[in-house]
Amino acid sequence: MKNFDFVIIGSGIAGLYSTILAREHGTVLIITKGSIEDCNTQFAQGGIAAAIGKDDSPKLHFKDTILAGAGLSNEVAVKILSDEAPDRIAELVRIGVPFDTLYGEIALTREAAHSRPRVAHAGGDATGLHIEVTLSKEIREQKVRFLEHSLATQILVNHGAVEGVKVFDCHTGAMEEFGCRFLILATGGAGQLFKVTTNPAVATGDGVALAYRAGAEIVDMEFYQFHPTALRLPGVPPFLISEAVRGEGGVLRNVDGHRFMPDYAPEADLAPRDVVARSIVYEMNKTKSDKVFLDVTHLPAYTITTRFPNIYHFCLEHGLDIARDLIPVAPAAHYMIGGVRTNTWGQTNLAGLFACGETACTGVHGANRLASNSLLEAVVFSKRIIQRATEKTKAVSIAKDEGLADVRTDLGRRQIQKKVTQPRLATLQELLWGRVGIIRDRHGLIQTVDSLAAWQDSLPAPVDRCSHELNNLVLTGRLMAEGALLREESRGAHFRNDFPSALPEWKRHIVFQKGE
């Protein structure tokens, strides 16, 4: 077995930033199932939030994040996030990320639920891509060892401590084991659970599935964020229309031309994402349409073309001049809020296992992520992981939220009454989109967890990348559906028709652990 100090799984901003920091303290191996550039980071348009403006402060950033979290955010983690954000932006600048500037300072814009303009961007609406390219270039120049087209299939654990990882070569089918002192999960989200998603094909819930099977705690899986505005054109894959478009003055209209968001929320088009997404669904149902429109035609054309060059050119390639034409949009699955439970140092309940980025649940987002906090969370807690790993501490405690209890459970076994056929990816995506999507209810959730349990029992042992990913998606989807069924209330990104209000007795976390 080849041994490293750090094995890092994933090549998004969390994995790459962790690698740049870790290589100063030992040997590092990056494992990624695609190429090093395949990840969600490059699709992040909106930007990265930090209180670096003259009229802003970490205290205001903290307040906005807590408010968006709907009562479930870990306040200690949020304070760390908001306090350390300016320093992490400065580090990204030193590494070479070319943030857009105005009069010599980093240009800042405002997004929904932020009380101040505090979102930094690069290349207008290509922030994630610029960060990804900058970090991956740095790693290639430093000759860090990485395995591309290699899928981690099992975390090797001995007496509650990580010893290494088993890896499948997607090209040759060979299996290999790598030992490590520290294993960092940075595998991204699970957007491929849903029929309509802004995520790339690599987002298949691998980190959550790996961690759960190894005995790590998985938390808050019922909270999944649906972006309100993805491009809706026949034959065109969902393409994210950044929330920053509404931050710059864009407004939503239904197919009859009515500006409807003031009917649903006092913040109108700048309401939190979950409110906007549900409002769009209600409006589409009301008008019997599969879309609404985002209108920026009243903005100066130069604002649109210079602030959102990628969106402008993508739409233009598909026959839309958004400076003149309304943009057809509808919600799409976007961001996994729950994940592998960590403390404020990125540690899990397994010694030596850390998680960061979208696959982790640090407690920052609570029940609803504040826009542009995700890239920030990745760099803040990646930094803390390397700090803790190099302190040679053996502490592996999970920081509990003050005053918030846990509901602890496992998936268990369900009585399957009928024979089921093996699922296909499209069948799974259709089921999750229809039953565990933006609006949920008990009947649909019961049907879903029963189907997923039956599929889990019927799936054969995986033999290639696609079958490994399908196994991971079925497990991750079941964790999400089971959590949504247990939480009999509506809070943040989790909404149930049969329990439409937030309830004080549900101000707690649902934690899954194998064998619990």
Residue length, the chain? 516
CB 165 within 8 A of CB 154: yes
Residue-by-residue DSSP string for 39-57: SSGGG--S-EE---STT--
Token duo for residue 294: 């985002």
The Cβ-side half-sphere exposure at 374, using a 13 Å CA radius, reads 28
State how far the Cα of 7 lies from the Cα of 334, in Å rounded to an integer.
27
Q: Is 213 exposed, middle or buried (0-12, 13-18, 19+ CB in 10 A)?
A: middle
Nearest to 449 by CA among 220, 222, 235, 278: 222
The catalytic residues are 273
Whose tokens are 């939480």? That residue is 487
State how far the Cα of 21 lies from the Cα of 354, in Å rounded to an integer.
15
Beta bridge partners of 157: 162
Pairing assessment for the beta strands 406-409 and 119-120 based on DSSP bridges: unpaired
CB within 8 A of 488, min separation 6: which ones?
A: 496, 498, 499, 503, 506
Give the torsion sign (CA, 430, 436, 440, 444).
Answer: positive
Beta bridge partners of 166: 154, 177
Token duo for residue 505: 């007795």
CB within 8 A of 382, min separation 6: which ones?
A: 14, 17, 18, 21, 186, 346, 356, 357
